[in-house]
Protein backbone atom coordinates (compact mmCIF):
# COMPACT_ATOMS: atom_id res chain seq x y z
CA UNK A 1 0.00 0.00 0.00
CA UNK A 2 1.30 3.40 -0.93
CA UNK A 3 0.15 6.52 0.82
CA UNK A 4 0.51 10.01 -0.52
CA UNK A 5 -0.20 13.00 1.60
CA UNK A 6 -1.64 15.76 -0.55
CA UNK A 7 -1.18 18.46 2.08
CA UNK A 8 1.52 17.60 4.46
CA UNK A 9 1.98 20.88 6.28
CA UNK A 10 -0.47 20.69 9.14
CA UNK A 11 0.22 24.26 10.32
CA UNK A 12 0.02 26.03 7.05
CA UNK A 13 -2.15 29.13 7.75
CA UNK A 14 -2.35 30.27 4.16
CA UNK A 15 -5.87 31.22 3.19
CA UNK A 16 -6.71 32.70 6.56
CA UNK A 17 -7.34 36.44 6.08
CA UNK A 18 -5.19 37.53 9.01
CA UNK A 19 -4.42 40.88 7.39
CA UNK A 20 -8.12 41.59 6.96
CA UNK A 21 -8.91 40.52 10.49
CA UNK A 22 -6.35 43.03 11.76
CA UNK A 23 -6.92 45.84 9.28
CA UNK A 24 -10.74 45.97 9.40
CA UNK A 25 -10.99 47.04 13.07
CA UNK A 26 -8.09 49.46 12.57
CA UNK A 27 -9.79 50.99 9.55
CA UNK A 28 -12.99 51.40 11.56
CA UNK A 29 -11.02 53.11 14.30
CA UNK A 30 -9.31 55.45 11.87
CA UNK A 31 -12.73 56.37 10.46
CA UNK A 32 -14.02 57.08 13.96
CA UNK A 33 -10.93 59.14 14.69
CA UNK A 34 -11.38 61.20 11.54
CA UNK A 35 -15.05 61.81 12.41
CA UNK A 36 -13.96 62.99 15.83
CA UNK A 37 -11.33 65.26 14.29
CA UNK A 38 -13.91 66.79 11.96
CA UNK A 39 -16.25 67.49 14.87
CA UNK A 40 -13.33 68.89 16.81
CA UNK A 41 -12.42 71.29 14.02
CA UNK A 42 -16.08 72.31 13.75
CA UNK A 43 -16.20 73.02 17.47
CA UNK A 44 -12.93 74.90 17.24
CA UNK A 45 -14.04 77.14 14.41
CA UNK A 46 -17.52 77.76 15.77
CA UNK A 47 -16.57 78.52 19.33
CA UNK A 48 -12.96 79.59 19.47
CA UNK A 49 -12.85 81.76 16.36
CA UNK A 50 -14.96 84.42 14.74
CA UNK A 51 -15.11 84.62 10.99
CA UNK A 52 -15.14 88.14 9.65
CA UNK A 53 -15.80 87.12 6.06
CA UNK A 54 -12.15 86.99 5.17
CA UNK A 55 -10.32 85.13 7.89
CA UNK A 56 -10.80 83.61 11.30
CA UNK A 57 -9.90 85.64 14.33
CA UNK A 58 -9.40 84.00 17.71
CA UNK A 59 -11.89 84.68 20.43
CA UNK A 60 -10.22 85.89 23.56
CA UNK A 61 -11.19 85.72 27.18
CA UNK A 62 -10.14 88.15 29.84
CA UNK A 63 -7.80 86.83 32.47
CA UNK A 64 -6.28 88.52 35.45
CA UNK A 65 -2.96 88.03 37.11
CA UNK A 66 -2.27 89.08 40.65
CA UNK A 67 1.32 89.68 41.58
CA UNK A 68 3.18 91.27 44.42
CA UNK A 69 5.15 94.38 43.62
CA UNK A 70 7.48 96.25 45.97
CA UNK A 71 6.49 99.89 45.99
CA UNK A 72 8.62 102.71 47.27
CA UNK A 73 6.16 105.25 48.64
CA UNK A 74 8.65 107.93 49.45
CA UNK A 75 12.31 108.58 50.17
CA UNK A 76 11.84 108.32 53.89
CA UNK A 77 9.32 105.48 53.92
CA UNK A 78 10.20 101.79 53.83
CA UNK A 79 9.19 99.88 50.67
CA UNK A 80 5.81 98.16 50.78
CA UNK A 81 4.60 95.00 49.16
CA UNK A 82 1.56 95.72 47.06
CA UNK A 83 -0.75 93.37 45.19
CA UNK A 84 -1.15 94.48 41.58
CA UNK A 85 -3.91 93.03 39.41
CA UNK A 86 -3.22 93.04 35.68
CA UNK A 87 -5.80 92.02 33.08
CA UNK A 88 -4.76 90.31 29.90
CA UNK A 89 -6.47 88.61 26.99
CA UNK A 90 -6.00 84.92 26.40
CA UNK A 91 -7.13 83.09 23.25
CA UNK A 92 -9.89 80.67 24.14
CA UNK A 93 -8.15 77.89 22.23
CA UNK A 94 -5.33 77.96 24.78
CA UNK A 95 -7.40 76.57 27.61
CA UNK A 96 -8.95 73.60 25.82
CA UNK A 97 -7.52 70.15 26.47
CA UNK A 98 -7.89 69.06 22.85
CA UNK A 99 -5.73 66.00 23.33
CA UNK A 100 -8.51 64.29 25.24
CA UNK A 101 -10.77 64.23 22.18
CA UNK A 102 -9.29 61.24 20.51
CA UNK A 103 -8.85 57.51 20.73
CA UNK A 104 -6.06 56.97 23.18
CA UNK A 105 -5.23 53.33 22.55
CA UNK A 106 -6.66 50.44 20.65
CA UNK A 107 -6.33 46.87 21.77
CA UNK A 108 -7.55 44.30 19.29
CA UNK A 109 -7.39 40.75 20.47
CA UNK A 110 -8.75 37.67 18.83
CA UNK A 111 -8.13 33.95 18.93
CA UNK A 112 -8.60 31.67 15.99
CA UNK A 113 -8.98 27.95 16.22
CA UNK A 114 -7.59 26.41 13.11
CA UNK A 115 -8.33 22.85 12.06
CA UNK A 116 -6.33 21.44 9.23
CA UNK A 117 -7.43 18.58 7.08
CA UNK A 118 -5.73 16.62 4.38
CA UNK A 119 -6.43 13.75 2.07
CA UNK A 120 -4.48 10.58 1.93
CA UNK A 121 -4.49 8.77 -1.38
CA UNK A 122 -4.42 5.05 -1.01
CA UNK A 123 -3.60 2.64 -3.73
CA UNK A 124 -6.34 0.09 -3.12
CA UNK A 125 -4.95 -2.40 -5.58
CA UNK A 126 -2.15 -3.19 -3.25
CA UNK A 127 -4.31 -3.49 -0.19
CA UNK A 128 -4.14 -6.91 1.44
CA UNK A 129 -7.15 -9.22 1.03
CA UNK A 130 -8.56 -8.62 4.48
CA UNK A 131 -9.56 -5.12 3.40
CA UNK A 132 -11.11 -6.10 0.06
CA UNK A 133 -14.57 -5.76 1.50
CA UNK A 134 -13.85 -2.19 2.43
CA UNK A 135 -12.43 -1.39 -0.97
CA UNK A 136 -15.62 -2.43 -2.77
CA UNK A 137 -17.59 0.13 -0.80
CA UNK A 138 -18.91 3.00 -2.93
CA UNK A 139 -16.86 2.19 -5.98
CA UNK A 140 -19.22 4.01 -8.34
CA UNK A 141 -18.28 7.50 -7.21
CA UNK A 142 -15.19 9.10 -8.60
CA UNK A 143 -15.41 12.62 -7.23
CA UNK A 144 -13.18 14.23 -4.72
CA UNK A 145 -14.92 15.26 -1.58
CA UNK A 146 -13.93 18.32 0.30
CA UNK A 147 -14.65 17.94 3.95
CA UNK A 148 -15.80 21.01 5.79
CA UNK A 149 -15.82 21.13 9.52
CA UNK A 150 -14.59 18.56 11.90
CA UNK A 151 -14.76 14.89 11.07
CA UNK A 152 -14.56 12.55 13.96
CA UNK A 153 -14.21 9.30 12.11
CA UNK A 154 -12.62 8.35 8.85
CA UNK A 155 -14.75 7.97 5.73
CA UNK A 156 -14.15 5.91 2.64
CA UNK A 157 -14.84 7.31 -0.78
CA UNK A 158 -13.91 5.23 -3.74
CA UNK A 159 -10.16 5.06 -4.03
CA UNK A 160 -9.40 7.72 -1.56
CA UNK A 161 -9.54 7.80 2.13
CA UNK A 162 -10.19 11.14 3.74
CA UNK A 163 -9.05 11.53 7.26
CA UNK A 164 -9.53 14.27 9.73
CA UNK A 165 -6.30 14.72 11.52
CA UNK A 166 -6.33 16.23 14.95
CA UNK A 167 -4.13 19.20 14.28
CA UNK A 168 -6.05 22.05 15.83
CA UNK A 169 -4.04 25.07 16.76
CA UNK A 170 -4.78 28.42 18.22
CA UNK A 171 -3.63 31.65 16.61
CA UNK A 172 -3.62 34.66 18.87
CA UNK A 173 -3.10 38.21 17.66
CA UNK A 174 -2.70 41.29 19.84
CA UNK A 175 -2.62 44.68 18.19
CA UNK A 176 -2.04 47.86 20.14
CA UNK A 177 -2.34 51.13 18.29
CA UNK A 178 -2.17 54.66 19.64
CA UNK A 179 -2.78 57.97 17.95
CA UNK A 180 -0.09 60.44 17.16
CA UNK A 181 0.12 63.60 19.25
CA UNK A 182 -1.56 66.81 18.19
CA UNK A 183 -0.68 67.93 14.66
CA UNK A 184 2.25 70.37 14.51
CA UNK A 185 0.05 73.04 12.90
CA UNK A 186 -2.36 73.20 15.82
CA UNK A 187 0.51 73.00 18.29
CA UNK A 188 2.20 75.94 16.56
CA UNK A 189 -0.99 78.03 16.73
CA UNK A 190 -1.40 77.32 20.43
CA UNK A 191 2.29 77.95 21.01
CA UNK A 192 2.23 81.31 19.23
CA UNK A 193 -0.86 82.38 21.12
CA UNK A 194 0.44 81.38 24.50
CA UNK A 195 3.84 82.95 23.90
CA UNK A 196 2.12 86.19 23.01
CA UNK A 197 0.68 86.54 26.48
CA UNK A 198 2.33 89.56 27.99
CA UNK A 199 1.05 91.99 30.57
CA UNK A 200 0.60 95.48 29.26
CA UNK A 201 1.19 98.36 31.54
CA UNK A 202 -1.82 100.59 31.24
CA UNK A 203 -1.35 104.34 31.60
CA UNK A 204 -2.44 105.70 34.92
CA UNK A 205 -5.75 107.49 34.90
CA UNK A 206 -5.43 110.92 36.36
CA UNK A 207 -8.43 112.21 38.25
CA UNK B 1 -4.66 61.14 29.40
CA UNK B 2 -3.83 64.16 31.48
CA UNK B 3 -6.20 67.06 30.95
CA UNK B 4 -4.07 69.55 32.78
CA UNK B 5 -3.20 72.51 30.66
CA UNK B 6 -0.43 75.03 31.02
CA UNK B 7 -0.14 78.69 30.24
CA UNK B 8 3.03 80.72 30.43
CA UNK B 9 3.18 83.11 33.32
CA UNK B 10 2.88 86.66 31.96
CA UNK B 11 5.25 87.76 34.70
CA UNK B 12 8.17 85.33 34.41
CA UNK B 13 7.23 82.98 31.51
CA UNK B 14 7.25 79.87 33.67
CA UNK B 15 4.52 77.34 32.95
CA UNK B 16 1.47 77.64 35.16
CA UNK B 17 -0.50 74.40 35.27
CA UNK B 18 -4.24 74.85 35.44
CA UNK B 19 -7.43 72.86 35.19
CA UNK B 20 -10.02 74.44 32.84
CA UNK B 21 -13.01 73.27 34.87
CA UNK B 22 -11.60 74.68 38.09
CA UNK B 23 -10.66 77.87 36.31
CA UNK B 24 -14.28 78.30 35.25
CA UNK B 25 -15.41 77.84 38.81
CA UNK B 26 -13.32 80.79 39.84
CA UNK B 27 -10.19 78.83 40.73
CA UNK B 28 -6.87 80.64 40.96
CA UNK B 29 -3.62 79.08 39.84
CA UNK B 30 -0.26 80.19 41.11
CA UNK B 31 3.00 80.41 39.22
CA UNK B 32 5.50 78.03 40.79
CA UNK B 33 8.35 80.50 40.20
CA UNK B 34 7.18 84.02 40.90
CA UNK B 35 4.04 83.29 42.95
CA UNK B 36 1.87 85.35 40.61
CA UNK B 37 -1.73 84.15 40.65
CA UNK B 38 -3.77 83.70 37.47
CA UNK B 39 -7.56 83.54 37.31
CA UNK B 40 -10.30 84.18 34.82
CA UNK B 41 -11.99 87.57 34.87
CA UNK B 42 -15.63 87.34 36.04
CA UNK B 43 -16.98 88.82 32.81
CA UNK B 44 -15.43 86.00 30.74
CA UNK B 45 -16.68 83.11 32.84
CA UNK B 46 -20.11 82.72 31.22
CA UNK B 47 -18.90 82.85 27.63
CA UNK B 48 -16.16 80.33 28.38
CA UNK B 49 -18.59 78.05 30.19
CA UNK B 50 -20.86 77.78 27.13
CA UNK B 51 -17.92 76.77 24.94
CA UNK B 52 -16.71 74.30 27.53
CA UNK B 53 -20.21 72.81 27.67
CA UNK B 54 -20.18 72.26 23.90
CA UNK B 55 -16.75 70.69 24.24
CA UNK B 56 -17.96 68.34 26.99
CA UNK B 57 -20.96 67.30 24.87
CA UNK B 58 -18.65 66.45 22.00
CA UNK B 59 -16.51 64.49 24.39
CA UNK B 60 -19.54 62.45 25.50
CA UNK B 61 -20.44 61.75 21.85
CA UNK B 62 -16.91 60.58 21.21
CA UNK B 63 -16.96 58.33 24.25
CA UNK B 64 -20.15 56.73 22.97
CA UNK B 65 -18.56 56.31 19.55
CA UNK B 66 -15.56 54.63 21.15
CA UNK B 67 -17.86 52.27 23.05
CA UNK B 68 -19.47 50.95 19.89
Residues on chain A touching B55 (C-beta within 8 angstroms):
43, 47, 96, 101
pLDDT at A13: 61
Asked if A159 and A122 count as a contact pair (C-beta separation under 8 A), the reply is yes
In this complex, do A195 and B36 lie within 8 Å of one another by their Cβ atoms?
no
Let me know: does A160 contact A120? Beta carbons within 8 Å. yes
Per DSSP, the residues of chain B read: ----EEEE-TTT--EEEE-HHHHHTT--EE-TTT--EEEE-HHHHHHHHHHHHHHHHHHHHHHHHHH-
Residues B41-49: what's their mean pLDDT? 88
Distance (Å, rounded) from C-alpha B67 to C-alpha B64?
5
Which chain B residues are closer than 8 Å to A91 by Cβ?
Answer: none
Look at A136 and A13; give whichever has higher pLDDT. A13
What ipTM did this prediction achieve? 0.79
A65 touches chain B (CB under 8 A): yes
Stronger pLDDT, A66 or A160, i.e. the higher one: A66
Average pLDDT (A152-179) is: 53
The pLDDT confidence band at residue B29, using thresholds 50, 70 and 90, is: very high
Amino acid sequence: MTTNTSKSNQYDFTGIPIDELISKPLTAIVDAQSKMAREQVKLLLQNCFTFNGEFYQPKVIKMCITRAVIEQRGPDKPPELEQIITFFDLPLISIFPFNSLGIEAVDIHFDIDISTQYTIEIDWENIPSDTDQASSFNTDHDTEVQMLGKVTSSAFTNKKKTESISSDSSYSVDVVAAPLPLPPGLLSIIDVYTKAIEPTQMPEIEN
Amino acid sequence: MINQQQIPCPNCSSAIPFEPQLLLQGGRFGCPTCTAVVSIAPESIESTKSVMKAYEELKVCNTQMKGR
